[in-house]
Amino acid sequence: MTATLTAACVQLNAGPEIEPNLTKAGELVRRARDAGADFITLPENATMMVTGRREILSRVKTEDEHPGIPYFSDLARETEAMLLVGSLGIKLTEDTVANRSYLFGPNGEIVATYDKIHMFDVDLGGGESYRESATFRPGDRAVVAPSPWGGIGLTICYDVRFAYLHRALAQAGADILTVPAAFTVPTGKAHWHVLLRARAIETGCFVIAPAQTGTHFADRKTYGHSLIVAPWGEILADAGEDVGFVTAELDLEQVQKARQAVPALTHDRTFAPPAAPVSLADTGS
């Protein structure tokens, strides 16, 4: 197994049409490869950013029909890099979609896929609300994929808020966690850096989080700031708000050093769940 690699986050501002997004993503992947990246990652919704159930269902493709799959397969083969397509919307039925990551090997073969488990169903205030579960079918399987550098744990966006998923991936052999995202601006400003650093520190993993940025279809705005984070929590690269890419050198020995210093992954204990609280009024206090 190779102990070092150069990782890249490609930061996109995807529009509603697939083909122009493929062209832009391909350009940036090639540039990242020319800059020395061995493992190149794209954000969530890499080929299409639209809002609203009707718009999504009218535009998504089945896996057999999606032009992004052969395109990215050829791109991985061309560049001879491992390529993570953060997610594609994949039509499952007439009214359900999977939010699915694809990991391609340097030979263009699909190494692994992962369907987003946790659905972003929130009201952020100011009229901004999301109901992913109205359109997307959640995944039910965590995935650690093989690579020349160790296990890669696959997650998507809102998954970052669920520490138990990332802990399970690390305990199953992940040394690198990927968190492709299209984070909203309010939640990004408040939580993005903190959550990604926390997932790295808790697991002793490198965290690679490519993101969407800027204004998209129907005035949806995403936060940007694609990040690469070390196992001790240091931010190695931050893409800011511009379309482009960032790279960082990863030394996998840092994973073992972090886990030896704080071996929390080996310290799980079972415990009884807490009882529901009793109000003071009920106790007569």
Instruction: For 68-84, write each residue's pLDDT tens digit.
Output: 999 999 999 999 999 99
| Active-site residue, from 9, 24, 61, 157 | 157
Residue 91: how many other CB atoms lie within 10 Å:
19
Q: What is the pLDDT of residue 133?
A: 86
Tell me, yes or no, if 91 is annotated catalytic.
no
Tell me, yes or no, if 116 is annotated catalytic.
yes
Q: What is the pLDDT of residue 127?
A: 65
Q: What is the pLDDT of residue 43?
A: 98
Q: What is the pLDDT of residue 281?
A: 65
CB distance 47 to 14 below 8 Å: yes
Ranges of the chain with pLDDT below 70: 127-129, 280-285
Residue 13: how many other CB atoms lie within 10 Å:
18
Q: How many domains does the chain contain in total?
A: 1
| Active-site residue, from 61, 91, 116, 132 | 116
Q: Which two tokens stand for residue 277?
A: 């609280």
Taking the C-alpha atoms of residue 132 and residue 122, their distance in angstroms, rounded to an integer, is 9
Tell me, yes or no, if 9 is annotated catalytic.
no
In the chain, how long is the greatest CA-to-CA distance? 73
Q: What is the pLDDT of residue 192?
A: 98
| Active-site residue, from 9, 24, 44, 132 | 44
Domain assignment of residue 45, given as a range: 4-283
Backbone torsions φ then ψ of 237, nearest 5 degrees: -155, 140
Domain harbouring 78, CATH code: 3.60.110.10
Q: What is the pLDDT of residue 120?
A: 87
Q: What is the pLDDT of residue 284?
A: 61
Q: Which two tokens stand for residue 38?
A: 């061995």
